[in-house]
Amino acid sequence: MVLKIKRPIKEEPNVQHMLERMPKNVADSFTDDQLFHLNTALAGRRWGSHKIDVRGTIGLLRSRYYFVLLAGRDKRDLSRTESRIGKLVMAAVIALFLCVSLMLGLVLLYILKSWLGINLFEGFSLGLWDWLKGNT
């Protein structure tokens, strides 16, 4: 694919931005052909591949509007705040999982204790075993 440029290569915004960031003697040493190929190489979109890429246009009255729906795996590095929030959410999910697992384990142990007929406190029962026997 050949990129056709209608104005001088040194007037392209990408090239101007690149040349402004280097010493003047280095910036002046590039030929137009070199700048053209540098612009072509650096203008490529490495980030442009998405699992879901839906693009279209909708004509309403005299105007046409475009829409873009993109979705895919986020390959960017997280900021410090995003990383900290992610760690907090992960810790909360793990804590919730452990609490639910612990409660479920205790309920199962209580049902097993009741099934075996073991009374830890005389005359006290949560009634869970009686409720299970009545519903089965």
Domain boundaries, the chain: 9-42, 80-135
Mean pLDDT by 10 residues, the chain (136 residues): 64 85 91 87 69 88 91 84 94 98 95 85 78 77
Q: What is the DSSP string of 55-98?
A: EEEEEETTEEEEEEEEE----SPPPHHHHHHHHHHHHHHHHHHH
The pLDDT value given to residue 89: 97
H or E segment at 38? helix 32-42
- pTM for this structure? 0.44
Answer yes or no: are the C-beta atoms of 15 and 9 closer than 8 Å.
yes
| Tokens standing for residue 42 | 């650096």
